[in-house]
Structure 1
Amino acid sequence: MIIFKTTAYFNPHLDDLCFFEEKEGITKKLVSALEPSNKQSGPVDLFCLSWAICFYKTSKKILAEQDYTNKDLKVKVTLEMQKDDKGFYFKPTAILGIQDMTLEQTEIIADATHKRCPISRLISVDENVSVKVANYNELITE
């Protein structure tokens, strides 16, 4: 049973301005998590943002190491809070799309990124963490 779902969007073309979407039509801007408000971001939002930025920058580094310096990419991180017989748990997912790359090529980069991204390494032992790929043009990050 899904309790709530948070989606973080990171796009370097927005000058690091990020928005979070919790429910359809409800967005929040990135502000201090120390000032509670219904329209301000919280720890879950900041986790999603942290992973999205880390995954993005690690992917860019891996692409550069393979001489793909002109490839644009998009990263989307979602996080669902779910409940089972043991209680509540998080189910985060990172989704990577790379311009002009097949899904198979993107999956190779995503796997390498998940092994090298510091936040991925921190959370990768959790069976609820997943990494997926999508077509660049179909991955909405704005």
Structure 2
Amino acid sequence: MSKIYETVVINEKGTSGFIETDDGLKLDVSSPTDPSRTGPNPEQFMGMAWSTCLNATMQVMLNAKRTPKESRVRVVVTFNKEESKPGYYFTMNAYASVEGYTVEETLKLANQAHGQCPVSKLIEANNHVHVHAEAY
């Protein structure tokens, strides 16, 4: 393993507190179930991480093919309550689009990128994670 980058993120007080990175970024965090709090919530962080990483991977693949195109990844993260046991889970759906590509071409590229994207590798085994394509 050849480390490229490392960061440390600390959370205090869960969604009633804040996160802070080792390079000084500090954000209040919230819960979608508590409207009195401001700041991003875990669902938003998951969507930000996956949409950015999956789109960046698609861009690398497009550039490698020498076909640079504009692309976009929209991620919908849903917070769900378990029905058969205590707890919660996320459902995550990524909707990829590429300028000038058909939906079928986009889906092929998005699925290939999903196989290579580091965030996708973290979440791909979850049966609540899906990749889709849509028109640009």
User: What TM-score do you get using the length of structure 2 for normalisation?
Assistant: 0.71
C-alpha separation in 1, matches of 2:26 and 2:134: 31
Q: Identity rate of aligned residues, in percent?
A: 27
Q: Determine which structure has the larger strand proportion and give its number.
A: 1
Runs of 4+ in 1 over 4 A off after TM superposition: none
- Say whether the 8 Å CA contact 1:74–1:97 is kept in structure 2: yes
Question: What's the CA shift for 1:108?
Answer: 0.9
Counterparts of 1:12-91 in structure 2, within 5 Å, are: 32-34=26-28, 36=30, 38-69=37-68, 71-83=69-81, 84-86=83-85, 87-91=87-91
Q: Which runs of 5+ in 2 are unaligned?
A: 1-24, 31-35
Report if aligned partners of 1:32, 1:41 keep a CA contact under 8 Å in 2. Answer: no
1:78–1:33 Cα change, 3 Å: farther
Aligned-pair Cα RMSD in Å: 1.8
**Would you say the 8 A contact 2:46–2:77 is kept in 1?**
no
TM-score (normalised: structure 1): 0.68
In structure 1, runs of 5+ residues without a counterpart are 1-30, 137-142
What amino acid maps onto 1:125 in structure 2?
Answer: A
Alpha-carbon separation, structure 1, partners of 2:93 and 2:50: 10
Report how many residues are paired: 105
